[in-house]
Amino acid sequence: MCAYNLFRSNRADGLLCAVPEERSVPPFVTGPRWTFDGRVDGDRSAPLGFDGKAAEAGVRFNGFYLFAGFRKRTPDH
């Protein structure tokens, strides 16, 4: 698996865009509604919702991979 830069939508939709490090960032991700959210380098650093095989296919056809990211809930105390 290659390394990806992650960009998170500022909206409540949970949308993330993964772009391989060696690729150009798509223009829509550079807008004000997106922020850099780190890097994926292997399955351990991948956020919930990231699928490596789907990412490969998305990059092959689009140059990037859009997916819904999830966060683990922490118990309320």
pLDDT digits (tens, 9 = 90+) for 63-74: 999 999 876 666
Q: What is the mean pLDDT of the chain?
A: 87
pLDDT of residue 43 exceeding 80, the answer is no
pLDDT digits (tens, 9 = 90+) for 9-29: 998 888 999 999 999 999 999
The b-or-e profile of 31-45 (16+ CB within 10 A means b, else e) is eeebeebeebeeeee
Q: Where are the alpha helices (DSSP H) in the chain?
A: 52-62
Least trusted range by pLDDT, from 2-6, 17-21, 35-39, 41-45: 41-45
User: Order of strands across the sheet with 4-9?
Assistant: 34-40, 4-9, 15-20, 65-68
